Homo-oligomer: A and B are copies of this chain.
Amino acid sequence: MGLLAAGIGAGIVAIGAGLGIGMIGKAATESIARQPEASGDIRGAMLLTAVFIEGVALFCAVICALIIFLG
């Protein structure tokens, strides 16, 4: 049962990270194209929020990995 959870959970984590960072990356590239001279500020906000998501996603992926070894 634990293995089932680990595999599907890992897949859902990837969806979460993909959708979240994908939306940010989409907005960032479009914003830079609209305001090239503000690319520093944009890249800062992009990294800040992408790292928030990356952190939660890795934390959750580690939970899934833990299940394989402990479960």
Chain A positions near chain B (C-beta within 8 angstroms): 1-39, 41-50, 52-54, 56-61, 63-68, 70-71
Question: Of all chain B residues, which has the CB nearest A71?
Answer: B3
Top 8 A-B pairs ranked by shortest CB distance?
A5-B7, A11-B12, A18-B20, A25-B49, A7-B9, A14-B16, A20-B22, A2-B3
Per the bound structure, the CA–CA distance linking A33 and B40 in Å amounts to: 10
Per the bound structure, the CA–CA distance linking A26 and B13 in Å amounts to: 20
Given A36-B41, A45-B46, A52-B17, does the pair A68, B68 have CB atoms closer than 8 Å?
no
Residues of B within 8 A of A37 (CB): 36
B66 and A68 contact, CB distance less than 8 A: yes
